[in-house]
Structure 1
Amino acid sequence: MKKLTSALIVIFCITLVSCVAPDVDHYQGSSPEFNFKQFFNGRLKAYGVVQDYSGELTRKMVVDMNASWDGNQGVIEENFVYDDGETQRRVWKITLNDDNSLTGTASDVIGIAKGSSNGSVFHWQYTLELPYQNDTIEVNLDDWMYLVTQSRLINRTAIDKFGIEVGEVTLVIEKVE
């Protein structure tokens, strides 16, 4: 019985530790320095995949983006084209705050997206209303962007429902000259 209890405690601790995500401050000093306003400015193009909870590829997409700024107020227009022909449009309204944090809204975002960056990494979280079987569902997105070069980043987004990861989106976003 003692061995079983010990084994259960070890499994619980491993599970608990694996559920803890790194904080954006962990990336302080990493380079290149991620400047959200600088990267998301002008034309961008993204290529990505969507995977379900088991890691199976469910969709591919290409996204054309256009971003502009007026002071610390930004607009990012995203036009998605999926491999099955479906299209989607999202227009983000972004505010860059004095403490270098960001907030954002869009018509399909429930509430306000909140995020911050440090070093070469940007992280934000928000609730999104997604089309699903002739209706919509609300999912939570945990969005991490890793600047690889000044013109390219990798974006990994975990999609959670009721605290359980149900999918993942991976994008490569590039500035278009």
Structure 2
Amino acid sequence: MRAFILVTSIVLFLTGCSAKIEDYQADTPKLHLDEYFVGDIVAYGMVQDRSGKVTQRFRADIVGTWEGNQGELDEVFYWDDGREQTRVWRITKTGANSYEGTAGDVVGVAKGTTAGNALHWVYQLEVPFRDDTISVTLDDWMYLLDEDRLVNRTEMRKFGFRVGEITIYMEKK
């Protein structure tokens, strides 16, 4: 019984310490996806495994367009091993601060909410693994630094366990 109480206390403590999107409500500049993701953006990033070791680096060229509540992000990734990868996000603004998105390698629908300078975006992504692909859950947090710069930190999970992290710096051209 003591072990159960200890484990329950630890889980409650850890989940109680998690950031919530509402924590950023007063932070500026305000992030509006339909304003930031318009035009040409260059991104630089890295992927780390669960131990924190950098396993991949990349550059991405992003072209964003918006019409009304519909947006599209056309992304081309240039990986450090020479691979090129394309992803096209189709994003719908579903409310004042809520968004949904789809892409070819996204399982189902991504869902996100903005508050202040932040976006919390959660989805499942099919990623290459050995000679196949696996589905991992991505928990994205994007923070607008100023009108031209944004930082994205992503935690990757599989079966609820943290398997890696992605860090991306984006800048409008």
Structure 2 length-normalised TM: 0.93
How large is the Cα RMSD of the aligned pairs? 1.7
Quote how far apart the aligned CAs of 1:100 are: 2.4
One of 104, 107, 110 as aligned partner of 1:107: 104
Quote how far apart the aligned CAs of 1:19 are: 3.6
Tell me which residue corresponds to 2:120. Answer: 123
In 2, distance between residues paired with 1:158 and 1:43? 26
Question: Is 2:4 aligned against 1:13?
Answer: no
In 2, distance between residues paired with 1:166 and 1:172? 21
- 3-state DSSP of counterpart to 1:17: helix
**Aligned pairs, how many?**
172
One of 55, 60, 74 as aligned partner of 2:52: 55
User: Mean alpha-carbon deviation: is it higher for 9-18 or for 138-147?
Assistant: 9-18
One of 71, 91, 95 as aligned partner of 1:94: 91
Q: Which has the larger radius of gyration?
A: 1
Deviations 1:25-79 (A, max 9, x none): 1111111111111111100010011000010110111010000011111110110
Structure 1 length-normalised TM: 0.91
In the alignment, structure 1 segments of 5+ residues that lack a partner are none
The alignment-based identity, stated in percent, is: 46
One of 22, 29, 48 as aligned partner of 1:25: 22
One of 134, 137, 143 as aligned partner of 2:140: 143
In 2, distance between residues paired with 1:163 and 1:171? 23
Quote how far apart the aligned CAs of 1:88 are: 0.8
User: Mean alpha-carbon deviation: is it higher for 32-41 or for 9-18?
Assistant: 9-18
In the alignment, structure 2 segments of 5+ residues that lack a partner are none
Deviations 1:61-103 (A, max 9, x none): 1010000011111110110011111111100001012332000
